[in-house]
């Protein structure tokens, strides 16, 4: 006999990864960050994260 079966799943953990222009040359990366910094608030927040990825590219 065929039937539709319902089920419930409890999520215990979520894993995420970020790829923030990691394969770009330093010059390209710096240019991308400068561009994103001039955008909306969410874009500026992404730029803040990008600063932590390669802090050596930015003045302290």
Query: How many domains does the chain divide into?
Result: 1
Q: How would you class 1 by CB atoms within 10 Å of its CB: exposed for 0-12, middle for 13-18, buried for 19 or more?
A: exposed
Could you tell me if residue 38 is inside a domain?
Answer: yes
Could you tell me if residue 30 is inside a domain?
Answer: yes
What pLDDT sits at residue 57?
Answer: 92
What pLDDT sits at residue 10?
Answer: 96
The range of the structural domain enclosing residue 53 comes to 26-57
Tell me the pTM: 0.65
Instruction: Calculate the alpha carbon distances from 31 to 5, 6, 10, 17, 28 in Å.
Output: 52, 50, 42, 23, 5
Could you tell me if residue 1 is inside a domain?
Answer: no
1-59: pLDDT as tens digits? 789 999 999 999 998 888 888 889 999 999 999 999 999 999 999 999 999 999 999 87
Could you tell me if residue 37 is inside a domain?
Answer: yes
pLDDT above 80 (res 60):
no
């Amino acid at each position: 006999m065929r039937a539709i079966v319902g089920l419930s799943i409890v999520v215990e953990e979520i894993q995420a990864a970020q790829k923030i222009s990691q394969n770009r040359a330093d010059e390209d990366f710096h240019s991308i960050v400068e561009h994103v910094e001039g955008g909306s608030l969410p874009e500026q927040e992404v730029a803040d994260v990008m600063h932590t990825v390669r802090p050596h590219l930015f003045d302290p």
